[in-house]
Amino acid sequence: MATIVLGTAFGDEGKGKLVDILSHEVKLCARAQGGHNAGHTVVANGVNYDFHLLPSGLVNPACTNLVGSGAVVHVPTFFKELEDLEKKGLPNVRGRILLSDRCHIITDCHIRVDGLEEKELAGRNIGTTNRGIGPTYSTMASRNGITLSEMFDEEVFERKLRALAYGFKKRFGDLLEYDVDEEVQRFKGYRTELQQYVVDAVPLMSDAQAKGVKILIEGAQALMLDINFGTYPFVTSSNTGLGGIFTGLALDPRKIDNIIGVVKAYSTRVGSGHLPTELFDADGEKLQKIGHEVGVSTGRPRRCGWLDLVVVKYSHAINHYTSLNLTKLDILDTFPVIKVAVAYKDPRTGEEIPSFPADQKLLESVEVVYKEFEGWNSSTTSVTDWYSLPLKARKYIEFIEEFVGVKVGWIGTGPKREDMIVRK
């Protein structure tokens, strides 16, 4: 049976902690989409483990981990991440990680092109992580990408890589600084090294599901960054919602137990794209500071704002959550007034917009309607029991449940694995 964990908003909701807790109950942990642009830090037994491409089920020594067909793989990062986890003492990581042979490869050529494409946008930047993810999904869609399976055929790989480089060279000329010969050579070594990890993930998933193996599926990024349902074009290049789980893994929809949506008690966003509840005042700075909202790879402060239930409700309409994990409740402990967005109004008509708008211009101009809550003004840090929460905090959570129509089954009250209220 499978549990899926998905981000409900703009990413960095704190999925890592829940995934870590749940991965100790499963035998198979899988990623379905995205690449090494994802990431969380899992703190287990006092050690910080960084995950970008690899599933965090690797922390559980009894768990096999799969990078599914919808993901894109940068081979040097794959090896580097394995090495780092090994150095930190995780047992047998190499024996517990598998890559689908249908994954597309992120070549150095894709990485170089990522930067050049971002420059072409001149001022309308998407804010990509420059890791080649977007160009790799592009070449996958235009059918000139390279899969891991193709990589094992030396002749096919070399021909396709040279064709790719030739095409991009035509487009970018001398701006593209890329040595195709060097990459062809480098892959000769990878071909042997990768052999043990690359599998046909379809029978693997079928067998696991037929045997009733407990599976955890770790979503990467979050719904508002979904290529179809997110705030296009300020999105990532894959389907980060429920749909991406099916295109990226051979998952039987009848075998899904839980779809858990992770909601941070306030909003954050990195990179470009509108954040309707963004705060430009002292409250925004306070959220940023107390919540330690700093980009993991960039070190840049994340933009902060109040929780946006319009977003969460929209995200539920697409992902069909069976429960929610509210994270970082404790960060709101000292706010005298806490707001949540409950509607957007169209400034041209003054009327409420029925859902989250597709039109980015409209989105940038909407008037946000808030509901205000009196703050609870006491510490919720490390609380593990629902009834030990202040009444005002419970009311706040109950309002979220009622508004979205999904039970909040998990409440984060601090950074540690134990700082969690579980409501069955």
> CB-wise, 267 or 327, nearer to ligand GTP?
327
> CB-wise, 103 or 270, nearer to ligand GTP?
270
Strands (E), 74-221: 97-100, 104-105, 198-199, 215-218
DSSP 12: -
Q: Which two tokens stand for residue 380?
A: 């919720």
12, 108, 308, 330: the catalytic one is 12
Contact residues toward ligand GTP (CB under 6 A) are: 7, 11-17, 40-41, 296, 327-328, 330-331, 412-415, 419
Nearest C-alpha neighbor of 3 from the set 255, 223, 312:
255
* Residue 385 known to be catalytic: no
Cα–Cα distance, 346 to 344 (Å, whole number): 7
CB proximity list for 69: less than 8 A, separation 6 or greater: 100, 102, 103, 201, 247, 248, 249, 250
Q: Which two tokens stand for residue 370?
A: 């808030």
> CB-wise, 134 or 219, nearer to ligand GTP?
219
What residue type is assigned to position 160 of the chain? Answer: K
CB of 150: closest distance to ligand GTP in angstroms?
Answer: 30
Distances (CA, A) of 93 to 87, 100, 195, 329: 10, 17, 15, 34
Q: Phi/psi at 2 (nearest 5 deg)?
A: -120, 145
> CB-wise, 228 or 297, nearer to ligand GTP?
297
CB of 302: closest distance to ligand GTP in angstroms?
Answer: 8
* Residue 40 known to be catalytic: yes
Cα–Cα distance, 197 to 194 (Å, whole number): 6
40, 52, 104, 316: the catalytic one is 40
CB of 38: closest distance to ligand GTP in angstroms?
Answer: 7
Nearest C-alpha neighbor of 289 from the set 334, 326, 327, 325:
334
> CB-wise, 72 or 161, nearer to ligand GTP?
72
CB of 56: closest distance to ligand GTP in angstroms?
Answer: 9
CB of 41: closest distance to ligand GTP in angstroms?
Answer: 5
Cα–Cα distance, 299 to 284 (Å, whole number): 17
b/e map 195-221, b = 16+ CB within 10 Å: eebbeebeebbeebbeeebbbbbbbbb
Dihedral Cα 236, 238, 243, 244, nearest 10 deg: -120
> CB-wise, 72 or 225, nearer to ligand GTP?
225
Residues 268, 293 contacting (CB under 8 angstroms): yes
Residues 66, 204 contacting (CB under 8 angstroms): yes
Q: Please tell me the number of Cα atoms within 13 Å of 307 on its side-chain side.
A: 29
Cα–Cα distance, 330 to 413 (Å, whole number): 5
> CB-wise, 271 or 357, nearer to ligand GTP?
271
CB of 338: closest distance to ligand GTP in angstroms?
Answer: 15
CB of 266: closest distance to ligand GTP in angstroms?
Answer: 11
| Strand bridging mode 323-327 / 337-345 | unpaired
CB of 34: closest distance to ligand GTP in angstroms?
Answer: 10
> CB-wise, 107 or 325, nearer to ligand GTP?
325
Q: Which residues are catalytic?
A: 12, 40
